[in-house]
Structure formats: structure tokens, C-alpha cells
């Protein structure tokens, strides 16, 4: 009996691996059977893990496949009409708020944001200078997307360019539980007056929407 105990201890220290219901352990603790773990390590940042471990209140552990997790999609807001805001001006023009939506998440979620903002130029420019039509997307006060249209009204491109343009964009981000702001802002330059360039309005194709994707488990 003593020889068997000594042999087992030598084997343990030599291999530094313990197998339960297996004679060829491949990790420090290799369990071939059900498992109870009282302390677990977060591997959420390791992309090579494709199984998600789950446990009950007593530490009994099993897993589900990551691609089988129930993804719950919730619409946060969906707008097809936006306020019409004068955003033109000459020189450096600060972005003007068009729509600022406050959303509340019950738990961390991936938030998907899409927008299509109409930009109206009602008066033809004749100064031959480049015009920049830009729409910003801000999340919690941080500029995350800038969508732009640009043209130069010269003799080769014409000096009578007017009508409706669209600035479009999308953004996906992970936000924590709580209240967040999602805002679109506009700016146009170089225009003689703010009213020469208007962003927003009720036109076909106008949209500003956001959805939250939760892991429902």
C-alpha cells in the first residue's frame, strides 16, 4: 500500500496534472465528467473560446455554444422625420444639433445606429469655392462618425448646384447599462448664411434609428 501511495505522489509532481476519470490529463485539472467550480475566470476577451460556460448558484458548470445564444433585438427609437435646422455659414462652423435621443439600457448591449439625413441647398452658389456638407454622429458626447458630401461650384462643374443631398452612416458600439445620448449634428461651409444650407426635414429616405442587441441568457 505504501509503494502505491509513493508512486502516485511522484507521478503527480512529475506531470503537475491531475485527471479525474481519465488516465491522460491534458491540463492541470482534466475532469472527464460533470464539474463543479467554486471560482471561475472571465475569458470574455479571448476570441478563441467558442463555448460559453454557465453555472448555477451552487457552482455546477455546463456550457452552451456561443452561436446558439439567444440574441434579443430591441428597437430604441426610429425616426422618419427630423427637425429642419439651418447649419450653413462661412469659415469654421460649429456643428448644430439636429436630434438628440436619450436611451436607457437595462443591461450591457451592442447598439446599432443608422441615419440618413437630408441636406437641402436652396440657393445656387456663385463664388467658385468648395462646399462641404457634413453630418456628425455623437454617442455620449463623443464624435464617432462624420459623413460628408463635397463639391466645388466652378465653371467646369457649374454654379447652379441646388437640391437635396443625403448624408448617411452607421455605427455599432457596446454600451453599458444605464442612460446614454445618441445625437446627430450638422454643419455646412462655406456658405454666406446659415439658411443657405438646411439639414433634416420630412423627406423620403429620412431616418435616424437605433437598436439594442442583448444576450438573453
Question: What would the DSSP string read from start to end of 157-189?
Answer: T-S---EEEEEEEEEEEEE-SEEEEEEEEEEEE
Q: For the residues 32-40, what does the mean pLDDT come to?
A: 79
Residue 208: CB atoms within 10 A of its CB come to 23
Contact call for residues 165 and 90 (beta carbons, < 8 A) = no
* Average pLDDT over the chain, rounded to an integer: 83
- pLDDT tens, position by position, 135-151: 999 999 999 999 988 87
Q: pLDDT-derived band of residue 159, with 50, 70 and 90 as boundaries?
A: low
| Residue linked to cell 439594442 | 212
Euclidean distance between CA atoms 82 and 100, whole angstroms: 10
Euclidean distance between CA atoms 94 and 2, whole angstroms: 84
Identify the top-confidence range among 9-18, 37-46, 83-92, 113-122: 113-122
pLDDT of residue 158: 60
Q: pLDDT-derived band of residue 198, with 50, 70 and 90 as boundaries?
A: very high
Q: pLDDT-derived band of residue 6, with 50, 70 and 90 as boundaries?
A: very low
What is the reported pTM? 0.68
pLDDT of 211 > 80? The answer is yes
> How many CA atoms lie less than 13 Å away from 27 in the CB half-sphere?
5
Q: For the residues 10-36, what does the mean pLDDT come to?
A: 75
Question: CB within 8 A of 47, min separation 6: which ones?
Answer: none
- Cell numbers at 157, concatenated: 462643374
Of 116, 213, 136, nearest in space to 182 by CA: 136
At CA 54, angle to CA 48 and CA 60, rounded to 5?
A: 130
Amino acid at each position: 500500500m505504501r509503494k502505491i501511495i509513493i508512486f502516485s505522489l511522484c507521478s503527480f509532481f512529475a506531470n503537475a496534472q491531475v485527471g479525474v476519470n481519465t488516465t491522460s490529463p491534458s491540463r492541470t485539472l482534466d475532469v472527464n465528467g460533470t464539474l463543479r467550480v467554486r471560482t471561475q475566470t472571465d475569458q470574455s476577451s479571448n476570441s478563441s473560446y467558442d463555448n460559453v460556460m454557465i453555472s448555477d448558484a451552487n457552482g455546477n458548470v455546463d456550457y452552451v455554444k456561443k452561436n446558439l445564444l439567444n440574441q434579443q433585438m430591441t428597437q430604441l427609437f426610429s425616426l422618419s422625420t427630423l427637425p429642419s435646422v439651418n447649419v450653413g455659414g462661412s469659415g469654421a462652423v460649429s456643428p448644430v444639433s439636429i436630434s438628440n435621443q436619450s436611451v436607457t439600457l437595462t443591461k450591457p448591449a451592442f447598439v446599432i445606429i443608422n441615419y440618413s439625413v437630408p441636406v437641402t441647398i436652396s440657393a445656387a452658389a456663385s463664388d467658385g469655392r468648395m462646399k462641404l456638407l457634413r453630418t456628425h454622429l455623437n454617442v455620449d458626447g463623443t464624435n464617432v462618425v462624420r459623413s460628408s458630401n463635397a463639391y466645388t461650384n466652378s465653371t467646369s462643374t457649374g454654379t447652379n448646384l441646388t437640391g437635396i443631398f443625403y448624408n448617411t452612416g452607421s455605427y455599432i458600439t457596446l454600451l453599458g447599462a444605464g442612460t446614454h445620448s445618441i445625437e446627430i449634428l450638422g454643419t455646412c461651409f462655406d456658405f454666406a448664411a446659415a439658411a443657405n444650407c438646411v439639414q433634416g426635414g420630412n423627406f423620403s429616405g429620412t431616418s435616424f434609428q437605433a437598436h439594442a442587441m442583448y444576450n438573453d441568457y
